[in-house]
């Protein structure tokens, strides 16, 4: 019978590419027959062919890697031939034994059953000739199981004293897998490895150091006893690769033995200063960082040396050196930021490198080295990378094109210019996000000038060209809410943003950052008290072009318009003159006209806000149309202290609807909320979470049973002698007490009656008269000859009984201000410290267990930095608009009825329902009264 060799199998696979699976199937059937043969040569050849069919391998001079990989991916398994592999492993011939161990390495795993049969075979081979020992050690390193490791550990440790160094080297390498599979032998192995560090053969020493590098990663404390021989090798060896491994070993051991740090600093410093090997130099620097050798006064000089070497790596042309240098500097920054800051310009130059990995590591380093002193400089330089270079995008002129064709190309001019890395949208997004992260970390800990930061946010929105508008919006609102001293500048800045049509026109473009318009409208609406002429914002906020914005921005625009008009109307009412009526009416009409189209918006939030705004302003417009100016001889004056108690009611000389909107938004101050505010709300004592909010419907079977029981009880009571007259008397008594109509005095249920309007009363009287006419002609209806007289209605006859509402708490009237700047309030603006509320507002009666410890500190003085408030001194910020629009507005306090300053978190208004009076004077309507907060 002619047998197919491995070369024949490979040739057949190449010749049958059209039908490989059929050919392989036929070949496997032949292998199944060959592997059962008693001839060990034939059996080993079949195993060799099966091994190549199963897994990837290579032959000398033959390129069939791709073919074998494809066969392995097709899933041809050889586990069925495991026993035959063991038979080939037991062959006394070395070349056949090698085939068996090769097949075992490729096919055996931890769950292979026949491995339990190889224990004696492996012990026998480990005590055989050196060639057999070498082949066996190679195989053991791959097929060792916990059971085999336990049984073979004495033989493997004994081989460490073999006379041949190549056997000792293989045995040392096999010890790594032995300790990994059988950890109980580690202490015995450590003592033997310590001896091998003094072996006369350098190859054995190198193998021992490599094994120790891997073993110390799992349990470094067990290998501290090896420090003396390792230190001796480090100071005496000249092999750079061995020194790299030894220094890496000390970087793992030194955190567990502080005395090693002082011992290692002199030799490592000498190596860093003298070695020309870059790989060894970097490993020394890395070991100093992770080993804690740069800490303390003794490590400053070493840290300075390491940083200078790493800075030289960054300036090198080798990209690999740049990468590892930036990676190492990131780890030095937390302990020595001042040393890294000396090379700030060198590091920032790597932000625009062509290699994306280097750019990312440079950004990591920049983010780690930011502090209060260099934040503004770093942010400005990173922002400069986002600015598009116009020169690279413009087309060449005619003269430049002619010069390019006439001048012969040189190696420098022939290469096309590489595109800027900042042109990539993905990288621009990373740059923008890093800027925001650097500034907002630890609640703006490194920001000293918040006016500058608001300008940076606005610049970033214009030049980012990526989708970071939501993050910019959130930080704008957060900064203005936390830092009160920056609100004036913020309103000024947002006014210029709303006046710019570029952002509005490009709102639909990708990366336009139109979300900042949300923040601009919110800030101008919430803090419009900083504006001297807030009505100038209304045409900008309600211009027709806002329909191109997203629905959430439109909703904020409409809400901001209502806030701005509310403040403008209240301010106009305080200095009211009859000449203001025309301007106010025109403003209201403009708002009604421009809000009306949004009532039919498909977005429910825009539709609801527009509908509410439209109804309110229609009411205000009707009040303005009904307003009649009063004579100047009888002005409205609140200077008389007896005004509130006077019985003579006086109407104000301005439309009362001007004060309709402002109280809706200015009652409480909008403060930042603390992180644990929600969970610190105290649970009410009378709250029963197990009680039904809505009782479930009763069970029909139980309800029918109760009805039958009640009927039975009534029958028994009738039999006991209770007359019907007594029942009627009890029923009449219940009706008089209100029980017959579902009223129970023990239940807190009150009846509410709707107030009848004049139209409803007329309609009710008309239907009653028609009903009486029909009943009069009906012969089957008995009419009452003496009908009751109708009760006279008070408001039909007695007009004077209508109650007069006294306008208590109305703001005092003041004379109109003659000298006012067109944009902001006219108090001189001084440089004041920035106080940032880092903790936020906690609810009234918050649980102390959830409150932040930093909130217990007292109010800080300017310049202090407590846990809850940070003081920042305002420095001159870049002014973005003309100085004629800048002015100031004094802060004021709202005083309550008890002449006490209002607290930042006023107590909620309590509402009590009065009981219905028993006398006939009550109207039966439910009243609500405000209870003043207890002092």
- Confidence at residue 861, expressed as pLDDT on a 0 to 100 scale: 35
- Confidence at residue 920, expressed as pLDDT on a 0 to 100 scale: 41
Tell me the per-residue pLDDT of 826-848, one tens digit each, with 9 for 90 and over. Answer: 554 555 567 787 787 887 777 76
More confident residue, 852 or 901: 852
- Confidence at residue 489, expressed as pLDDT on a 0 to 100 scale: 94
Tell me how far apart the alpha carbons of residues 619 and 616 are, in angstroms, rounded to a whole number. Answer: 5
- Confidence at residue 743, expressed as pLDDT on a 0 to 100 scale: 40
- Confidence at residue 693, expressed as pLDDT on a 0 to 100 scale: 84
Task: Spell out the residues 6+ positions from residue 208 whose beta carbon is closer than 8 angstroms to its own.
Answer: 172, 193, 196, 197, 199
**Which residues, in sequence order, are bridge partners of residue 593?**
none
- Confidence at residue 49, expressed as pLDDT on a 0 to 100 scale: 58
Tell me the per-residue pLDDT of 663-691, one tens digit each, with 9 for 90 and over. Answer: 888 888 888 888 888 888 888 888 888 88
Using the predicted structure, report yes or no on whether residue 53 has a pLDDT greater than 80. Answer: no
- Confidence at residue 788, expressed as pLDDT on a 0 to 100 scale: 54
Tell me how far apart the alpha carbons of residues 406 and 746 are, in angstroms, rounded to a whole number. Answer: 107
Tell me how far apart the alpha carbons of residues 674 and 837 are, in angstroms, rounded to a whole number. Answer: 10
Size of the chain, expressed as the number of residues it contains = 935
Using the predicted structure, report yes or no on whether residue 641 has a pLDDT greater than 50. Answer: no
3-state secondary structure 119-141: HHHHHHHHCCCHHHHHHHHHHHH
Using the predicted structure, report yes or no on whether residue 482 has a pLDDT greater than 50. Answer: yes
3-state secondary structure 293-308: CCCCHHHHHHHHHHHH
In degrees and rounded to multiples of 5, residue 901 shows phi and psi of -60, 140
Residues 748, 913 contacting (CB under 8 angstroms): no
Q: What is the mean pLDDT of residues 478-490?
A: 93
Tell me how far apart the alpha carbons of residues 128 and 89 are, in angstroms, rounded to a whole number. Answer: 14
Tell me the per-residue pLDDT of 546-594, one tens digit each, with 9 for 90 and over. Answer: 998 999 999 999 999 999 999 999 999 988 888 889 999 999 999 999 9
Residues 227, 260 contacting (CB under 8 angstroms): yes
- Confidence at residue 879, expressed as pLDDT on a 0 to 100 scale: 35
Write the CA distances from 19 to 23, 55, 804, integer angstroms: 7, 20, 103
More confident residue, 703 or 194: 194
| Share of residues in the chain with pLDDT > 90 (%) | 30
**Which residues, in sequence order, are bridge partners of residue 833?**
873
Tell me the per-residue pLDDT of 339-353, one tens digit each, with 9 for 90 and over. Answer: 898 898 889 888 888
Task: Spell out the residues 6+ positions from residue 159 whose beta carbon is closer than 8 angstroms to its own.
Answer: 126, 133, 137, 167, 168, 171
- Burial of 400: CB neighbours in 10 Å, binned 0-12, 13-18, 19+: exposed
Tell me how far apart the alpha carbons of residues 583 and 112 are, in angstroms, rounded to a whole number. Answer: 94
- Confidence at residue 600, expressed as pLDDT on a 0 to 100 scale: 93
- Confidence at residue 356, expressed as pLDDT on a 0 to 100 scale: 87
For residue 740, what are its two tokens? Answer: 């017959």
Cα-atom radius of gyration of the chain, to the nearest Å? 45
Using the predicted structure, report yes or no on whether residue 48 has a pLDDT greater than 80. Answer: no
Closest Cα to residue 314, out of 280, 282, 271? 282
- Confidence at residue 15, expressed as pLDDT on a 0 to 100 scale: 72
In degrees and rounded to multiples of 5, residue 751 shows phi and psi of -95, 135
Task: Give the DSSP per-residue string, 450-478.
Answer: HHHHHHHHHHHHHH--SS-HHHHHHHHHH
Tell me how far apart the alpha carbons of residues 173 and 150 are, in angstroms, rounded to a whole number. Answer: 17
Write the CA distances from 18 to 12, 22, 29, integer angstroms: 11, 9, 20
Tell me how far apart the alpha carbons of residues 899 and 513 are, in angstroms, rounded to a whole number. Answer: 47
Neighbours of 160 (CB within 10 A): 20
More confident residue, 614 or 13: 614
Tell me the per-residue pLDDT of 742-774, one tens digit each, with 9 for 90 and over. Answer: 444 444 434 444 567 888 888 888 888 888 888
Q: At what angle do helices 165-181 and 146-159 cross, to 10 degrees?
A: 150
Q: What is the mean pLDDT of residues 531-546?
A: 89
Tell me the per-residue pLDDT of 81-119, one tens digit each, with 9 for 90 and over. Answer: 677 778 878 888 887 788 788 878 877 878 787 888 888
Tell me the per-residue pLDDT of 388-412, one tens digit each, with 9 for 90 and over. Answer: 764 444 445 555 555 555 555 554 4
Q: Which of 306-320, 528-542, 860-874 has the weakest average pLDDT?
A: 860-874
The beta strands (E) that lie in 754-888 are given as 833-837, 869-873
Residues 178, 149 contacting (CB under 8 angstroms): yes
pLDDT class of 912 with cuts at 50, 70, 90: very low
Q: Which residue has the tokens 């990989």?
A: 69
Three-state DSSP class for residue 872: strand
- Burial of 295: CB neighbours in 10 Å, binned 0-12, 13-18, 19+: middle
Residues 208, 193 contacting (CB under 8 angstroms): yes
Residues 887, 874 contacting (CB under 8 angstroms): no
Write the CA distances from 805 to 647, 648, 650, 656, 813, integer angstroms: 11, 11, 10, 12, 19
Residues 889, 489 contacting (CB under 8 angstroms): no
Task: Give the DSSP per-residue string, 657-703.
Answer: GGGSSHHHHHSS---PBPTTTTTTSPPPTT--TTS-SSPPPPPHHHH
Task: Spell out the residues 6+ positions from residue 257 whose beta carbon is closer than 8 angstroms to its own.
Answer: 224, 227
Tell me how far apart the alpha carbons of residues 191 and 170 are, in angstroms, rounded to a whole number. Answer: 18
For residue 117, what are its two tokens? Answer: 């049969």
- Confidence at residue 873, expressed as pLDDT on a 0 to 100 scale: 43
- Confidence at residue 202, expressed as pLDDT on a 0 to 100 scale: 92
Mean pLDDT of the chain: 75
Displacement of CA 183 from its chain's centroid (Å): 44
Displacement of CA 806 from its chain's centroid (Å): 52
User: Hey, what long-range contacts does 517-520 have (CB within 8 A, 24 or more apart)?
Assistant: 517/549, 517/553, 517/557, 518/473, 518/552, 518/553, 518/556, 519/472, 519/473, 519/476, 519/477, 519/494, 520/476, 520/494
- Burial of 590: CB neighbours in 10 Å, binned 0-12, 13-18, 19+: middle
Tell me how far apart the alpha carbons of residues 40 and 760 are, in angstroms, rounded to a whole number. Answer: 114
DSSP code at position 550: -
């Amino acid at each position: 019978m002619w047998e197919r060799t491995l070369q024949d199998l490979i040739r057949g696979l190449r010749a049958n590419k059209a039908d490989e699976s059929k050919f392989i199937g036929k070949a496997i059937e032949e292998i199944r027959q060959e592997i059962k043969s008693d001839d060990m040569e034939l059996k080993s050849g079949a195993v060799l062919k099966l091994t190549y069919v199963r897994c990837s391998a290579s032959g000398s001079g033959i390129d069939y890697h791709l073919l074998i990989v494809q066969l392995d991916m097709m899933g041809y398994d050889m586990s069925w031939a495991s026993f035959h592999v063991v038979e080939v492993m037991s062959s006394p011939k070395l070349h056949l034994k090698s085939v068996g161990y090769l097949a075992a390495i490729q096919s055996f795993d931890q769950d292979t059953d026949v491995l339990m049969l190889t224990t004696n075979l492996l012990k026998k081979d480990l005590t055989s000739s050196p060639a057999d020992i070498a082949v066996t050690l190679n195989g053991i390193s791959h097929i060792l199981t916990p059971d085999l490791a336990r049984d073979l550990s004495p033989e493997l440790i004994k081989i460490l004293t073999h006379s041949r160094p190549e056997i000792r080297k293989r045995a040392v390498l096999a010890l790594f897998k032995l300790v990994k599979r059988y950890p109980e032998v580690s202490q015995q192995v450590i003592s033997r490895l310590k001896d091998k560090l003094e072996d006369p053969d350098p190859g054995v020493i190198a193998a021992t150091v490599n094994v120790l590098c891997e073993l110390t990663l799992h349990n470094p404390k067990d290998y501290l006893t090896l420090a003396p021989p390792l230190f001796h090798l480090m100071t005496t060896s000249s092999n750079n690769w061995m020194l790299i491994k030894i220094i890496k070993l000390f970087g793992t051991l030194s955190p567990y033995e502080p005395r090693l740090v002082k011992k290692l600093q002199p030799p490592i410093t000498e190596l860093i200063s003298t070695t020309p090997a870059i790989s060894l130099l970097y490993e020394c620097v890395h070991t100093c960082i992770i080993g804690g050798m740069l800490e303390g006064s003794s490590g400053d000089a070493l840290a300075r040396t390491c940083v200078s070497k790493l800075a030289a790596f960054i300036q090198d042309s080798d990209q690999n050196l740049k990468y590892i240098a930036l990676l190492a500097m990131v780890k030095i920054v937390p302990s020595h930021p001042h040393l890294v800051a000396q090379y700030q310009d060198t590091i920032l130059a790597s932000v625009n490198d062509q290699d994306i990995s280097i750019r990312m590591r440079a950004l990591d380093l920049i983010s780690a080295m930011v502090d209060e002193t260099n934040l503004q400089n770093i942010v400005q330089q990173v922002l400069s990378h986002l600015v598009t270079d116009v020169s690279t995008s413009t087309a060449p002129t005619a003269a430049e094109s002619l010069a390019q064709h006439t001048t012969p190309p040189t190696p420098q001019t022939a290469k096309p210019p590489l595109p800027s890395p900042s042109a990539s949208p993905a990288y621009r997004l990373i740059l923008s996000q890093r800027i925001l992260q650097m500034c907002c970390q630890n609640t703006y800990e490194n920001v000293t000038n918040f006016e500058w930061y608001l300008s940076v946010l606005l610049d970033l929105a214009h030049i980012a060209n990526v989708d970071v508008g939501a993050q910019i919006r959130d930080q704008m609102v957060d900064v203005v809410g936390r830092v009160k001293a920056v609100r004036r500048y913020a309103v000024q800045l947002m006014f210029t943003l709303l006046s710019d049509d570029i952002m509005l026109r490009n709102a639909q473009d990708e990366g336009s950052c139109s979300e900042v318009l949300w923040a601009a409208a919110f800030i101008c609406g919430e803090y419009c008290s900083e504006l001297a002429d807030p009505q100038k914002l209304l045409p900008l906020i309600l211009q027709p072009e806002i329909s191109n914005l997203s629905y959430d921005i439109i909703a904020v625009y409409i809400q901001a318009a209502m806030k701005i008009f509310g403040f403008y109307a209240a301010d106009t009412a305080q200095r009211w003159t009859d000449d203001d009526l025309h301007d106010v009416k025109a403003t209201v009409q403009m708002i009604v006209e421009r809000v009306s189209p949004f009532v039919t918006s498909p977005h429910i939030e825009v539709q609801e806000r527009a509908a509410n705004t439209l109804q309110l302003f229609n009411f205000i417009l009707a009040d303005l149309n009904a307003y009649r100016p009063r004579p100047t001889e009888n002005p409205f004056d609140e200077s008389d202290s007896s005004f509130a108690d006077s019985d003579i009611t006086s109407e104000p000389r301005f439309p009362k609807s001007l004060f309709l909107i402002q109280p809706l938004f200015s009652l409480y101050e909008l403060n930042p909320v603390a992180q644990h505010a929600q969970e610190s709300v105290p649970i009410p004592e009378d709250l029963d979470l197990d009680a039904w909010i809505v009782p479930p419907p009763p069970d029909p079977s139980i309800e029918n049973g109760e009805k039958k029981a009640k009927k039975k009880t009534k029958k028994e009571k009738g039999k006991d002698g209770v007359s019907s007259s007594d029942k009627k008397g009890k029923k009449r008594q219940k009706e008089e007490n209100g029980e017959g109509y579902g009223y129970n005095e023990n239940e807190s249920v009150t009846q509410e009656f709707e107030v009848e309007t004049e139209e409803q009363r007329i309609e009710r009287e008309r239907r009653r008269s028609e009903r009486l006419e029909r009943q009069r002609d009906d012969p089957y209806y008995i009419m009452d000859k003496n009908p009751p007289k109708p009760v006279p209605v008070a408001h039909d006859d007695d007009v004077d009984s209508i109650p007069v509402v006294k306008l208590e708490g109305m703001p005092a009237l003041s004379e109109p201000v003659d000298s006012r700047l067109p944009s902001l309030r006219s108090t001189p603006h001084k440089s004041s410290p920035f106080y940032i509320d880092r903790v936020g507002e906690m609810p009234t009666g918050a649980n102390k267990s959830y409150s932040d410890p930093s909130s217990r500190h007292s109010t800080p003085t300017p310049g202090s930095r407590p846990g809850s408030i940070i003081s920042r001194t305002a420095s001159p910020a870049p002014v973005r608009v003309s100085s004629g629009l800048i002015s100031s507005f004094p802060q004021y306090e709202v005083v309550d009825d008890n002449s006490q300053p209002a607290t930042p978190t006023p107590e909620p208004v309590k509402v009590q329902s009065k009981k219905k009076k028993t006398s006939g004077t009550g109207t039966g309507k439910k009243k609500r009264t405000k209870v003043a907060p207890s002092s």
